[in-house]
Chains A and B, each alone.
Chain A
Amino acid sequence: MKRETIYEALLKIISPYLPEDVGEAAISPGSDLIRDLNINSSHLVDIILDVEDHFNIMLEDQDMEALKTVEDALGIIEVKLGTTGNS
C-alpha cells in the first residue's frame, strides 16, 4: 500500500476525533495527536480500533505507547502491513 494512500486513510480516521475548534487542515505528518491536535487522550484507544478495522491489522500495547504523531502512526501501520520501504 502506498504511503499516500495510508496517510489519506489515516486523515479520515483521525478527523472525526478532532475537537470542534480544530480543522482537518491542522493535521500534518508531524502533528502530535494530543499536544498539537488537542485530541482527548481517551480517544486514542478509539483511533487505534478504527485503524485496526480499516487496515485489518492488530496493534499491541507497545505500538500504542510509541504512537504520538501522525507520522508514528504511519510508520506503525507500514510495519504491520509489511510495506516498509516499498513506497
Chain B
Amino acid sequence: MSRRVVVTGMGICAPNGCDLDRFGQAMSLGVSGIRRLPELERLGFRCQVAGQPELSEDIINQYFNKVELKSFNSTGLTYGVIAGMQAWHDAGLEVPSPEAPDWDSGIVFGTGVLGSDKFRESILLVDQGQVRRVGSSAVSQTMASGISAFLGGKLGCGNQVTANSSACSTGTEAVLMGLERIRQGGAERMLAGSASDCGPYVWSGFDSMRIVPSGFNEHPEKASRPLSASAAGFVPSGGAGALLLESLESARSRKARIYAEVLGGSANSGGHRNGGSMTAANSEGVQRCIRGALADAGIEPGQVDLINGHLTATAADPAEIRNWTEALGRQGREFPYINSFKDVLGHGLAASGSMEIVAALLQFGVNLVFGNRNAEDLHPEILKLVDPSRVPGQNVDYAPQYLAKASFGFGDVNACIIFKRFNPEAL
C-alpha cells in the first residue's frame, strides 16, 4: 500500500516570525531574526548573536492555560506547541470532542534536547538536597517526547504520538516519518515537526567548539553567511516548524487547501567512514541520500528545479554544493536554483529542518525563490561548480515545480525530501 500524501497545514515559531503571515513576509523581504543577546555577552560567549523567537505574554497565553504555565521553563516546548497548534488549525481541523480521540491522527515531533532551562532548575535543586521540590512538570517539560505528548493531549490524537531525534536532520526526518506512516496506511493525518530550545545552555557546546562566528557581534544580521567566501561559522538559533501531513483522500474529502505534495524522501548515514565523522559528512552518504530521495519520489534528477540546502555557513558549504552537483549530475547553468534560509533564521539545530521546510513551501504560494541574503561574495569553490545565477542573492520571480530539501546532522546522518507543487486539476 502506498498512498499519496499532501501538506494541508503549516505552523511556525521562528526568530523572524511566529505566525505564517509574519514569517512569510519576513522570508520574502529577507528580514533577519538574528540579534545580539545581552545574556550571551554577559556570559562571555564568543558568538553573542543568535536567533530566538520573540513571543509576547499574550501569545503564550493563547496556547497555554494558567495551570500549564505554573513553573513553566521550557523554550523548546513553547515553540513546538505553538507551531504544532498553528499547523493543526491552519489545516482547518477541529479539536476532537473530549470523549473520543481521533484515532486516525498522530504526531511525530522531534527535538535534540528539550527544556534545558527546566532541567537546569532541577539539577540545582537536586544538588542542594532539595529533590522533593523539583515539582510535577519537571519530567513533562524535559522529556524528548514532551512536545508530542503535550500536543497529543491538546488535539486528542489517538494514532502514534512520538518524537524522533537525529541532531540537525531531526525536522526533515520527522516529516519523512510522518510521510511513511500515512503512505503505509497507518494514519490519515500526521502532525510532523521539530523544535529546539534557545539559550546559553544549548548553544554553549557549539561556542566552545569554535564553529560559530565571533566577529559579527556588532552586526548580527550579517553574521550568518551561508555560501559566502566570508562565512565564519553557523549562528545558533532555535524555534519550531510543523506540517500537517494528510493522505490525499482525506484532504480531498474535506476539501482542504493543499500547499504541496510530499513525493518521497530518504534518510541514511555515512557511517563515520570516508571523511565522515561525528561532526562531518561522508560525501558518498549524502549523495546516496539525495539519489535515494529522488528514486523514492519517482522523479529524475533533471526535474528538480529548486533546492533548499542544509548550508550552515561553515567550511562544509562548498562540499555540500559539490555533493548536490554529483548526486544530480548537473553543474554550471544546468544546476537548479539553490538557497539557504540560515542567513536570516540562523541554524535552528533540531528545529532547522522543519522551520526551513515551512519557508521552502511558502515559495510555491508566492512564486518566488527566496534570495540568499548574505552571499554577495559567493565562495570561490562554489563558483567553480555552479553558475552564480543559480545561487541568487535576491528573490527570483519563478514558480518552482520540484523542490528538494535536505538536512544533515552530527552523527553523519542525512535526510532529504522531495516536494512537488500541487496542481488541483491534474490527478
Contact = CB atoms under 8 A, between A and B. Distances in A.
Whether chain B is bound by chain A comes out as yes
Interface of A: 16-20, 40, 42-46, 49
Contacts of B132: 49
Contact of B136 (A18, A20, A46): A46
Interface stretch (B31-39, B52-60, B63-71): B63-71
Given A16-B70, A18-B67, A49-B133, 5 more contacts: A17-B67, A19-B67, A44-B136, A46-B70, A46-B136
Contacts of B136: 42-46
A27 to B, nearest CB: 15
Contacts of B66: 16
Interface of B (DSSP majority class) = loop
24 contacts: A16-B66, A16-B67, A16-B70, A17-B67, A17-B70, A18-B67, A19-B67, A20-B65, A40-B67, A42-B136, A42-B137, A43-B67, A43-B136, A44-B136, A45-B135, A45-B136, A46-B70, A46-B71, A46-B135, A46-B136, A46-B137, A49-B132, A49-B133, A49-B135
3 shortest interchain CB distances as A-B pairs: A42-B136, A45-B136, A46-B136
Contacts of B67: 16-19, 40, 43
Contacts of A49: 132-133, 135
Interface of A (DSSP majority class) = helix
A18 B67 CA distance: 7
A40 B137 CA distance: 12
A18 B132 CA distance: 22
A46 B140 CA distance: 14
Nearest to A42: B136
Nearest to A15: B66
A43 B71 CA distance: 11
A52 B133 CA distance: 10
A45 B65 CA distance: 19
Interface in B113-165: 132-133, 135-137
A45 B70 CA distance: 13
A64 B157 CA distance: 33
Contacts of B70: 16-17, 46
Interface in B40-81: 65-67, 70-71
Contacts of A40: 67
A42 B136 CA distance: 6
Contacts of B133: 49
B69 to A, nearest CB: 9
A78 B374 CA distance: 66
B41 to A, nearest CB: 34
A49 B71 CA distance: 12
Contacts of A42: 136-137
A36 B17 CA distance: 42
Nearest to B139: A42
